[in-house]
Structure 1
Amino acid sequence: MKIKFIFFLMSLAVCWVSPSALANQDRVNTQDATSMKEGQPVTWKATLGTYQDSVTKDTSTDVNLRGSTKDTRFWFGYYQEPTNFKQSRLGAERAMDLASYGKLIYSLQVASGGFVGGSLTWDGKQDNVEGLSPLLGWGRTNAKPYVNLNFDPNDSVLWGGTYSQRQIGQISLFQIFDDRFNTGQRVTHLVWRGSMPNSVSLVVDAFHRSGASEAGDARVSGNGLATTLEMRDYFVRVAYDQKANYTQANITRLALGFRF
């Protein structure tokens, strides 16, 4: 009951901040899923991540705790760089079932430093139904400083689609592009999710990035690959990200986590 009340207050905040909102990290399912445990009202997932910068040689750290119920996710995170920049964040996400039209996902993120952001995403995929389905989304923030750990534009439009087939798994092709700050930022993702024997699953996210850090700056482009291996209640994610945040830096990411 307390969890539902907290989420209700956050949902009111979404309506006040902008007409539509969803947490930027969860606009599409490109990471490991948080499966519900039978007989357990909330399933928790803890993640520790490191981010190695090729230019500064600095290593940043991130700690994240996420809870999931049947149709709601909520999370708490803390990020810190060696330069003493640090940021705490809080978010919640809820999915609305649209029956044969898939689901509508809305949520909110807030962070220290005054950041507020979110978006609204329509995922046309129906549970346990194979074939093609659309993905559409829109995101907005109040333009305050924020560390997006996926390095995709926050104020942006998302469009694409998903193909699901039992033998090959799920394939998603989508693009996220800036529609507010005239940076030309655009990221194209190709994601495959598949299951293997012994409760092992794999998520592979290949992506291409292009655009400028700020309007008028020189454009850059780069590629990246993120792979997540799930083994029962444990998972590991390794990623290499060229021109992260549209700079000359290449970021190597490593994350370890478990569910309980």
Structure 2
Amino acid sequence: MTRIPALDPDWTPEAVVFDCDGTLIDSEQHWQRARAIVLRAFGHAPDEEFAQRAKGLHYRDCGALMAELVGAPEHTEDMTQQLLSAFRSLVAREAVTTPGARELVWTLQRVAPLAVASNCPEDVVRFSLESVDLLKYVRHIVVPDDSIRPKPHPDTYAEAVRRLGVPGSNALAFEDSVNGMKAAVAAGLRVVGLGPRPATQDADLAELWVDSLDDPALVDWAASRPTARAGRPETPAGDTADAKVPRPGGPTRQDPAGTS
């Protein structure tokens, strides 16, 4: 079956779901530093193999991976909490968007309702988005809980489109990790992959690969989508939306290298 490309000029998504870390927020650098801080406290330094294994993992799974690496499974919970604490501190000091994220969000929120599906704790996602003035554009934030499994399970994306009232096949996901792409595809969404196109079969997870969200073809496609005719529906209690929002401004990381 031929999959319709995400940039098909005849297709407009009825909903858009963004990953947060590494996709909207340049936070992978913070996760890398946080992992290094914790591992060095246990006498280890992360290498490239560990970085690839940790990329896109739920933070609790990452804590378990670090405990395995240092040969101390009994410290899994302690390392997990240290990791999260270090990450929160780093984000609080410097939260910036990835290149093109701010402009793409502003463009697409005029086309379709937006949600964020993340493996991070909800308060971290909200804080990160608010720090870069993007929270007001997001209708729903979905993170793992007792009933929602983390990526690569499809639950976060499936729940996001459910809350937006749209079938997965009518929604578009933006992801920078293979685990996240697997989750989105399993939930039926079309995917734009952010970062270098893999040489493996993982390349087929995304229908379009871009180096950054300011990719000219992606920007042109988004700008050519028709603006939604209907006004935004009322936002459920506890979620975020603002029907009257100005064009965004704020800190953006300029160098696209190193996002994940």
Q: TM-score range by the shorter chain?
A: under 0.3
TM-score (norm 1): 0.27
User: Could you say which structure has the greater relative contact order, defined with CA pairs below 8 angstroms and 6 or more residues apart?
Assistant: 2
Name the structure with the higher strand share: 1
Name the structure with the higher helix share: 2
TM-score (norm 2): 0.27
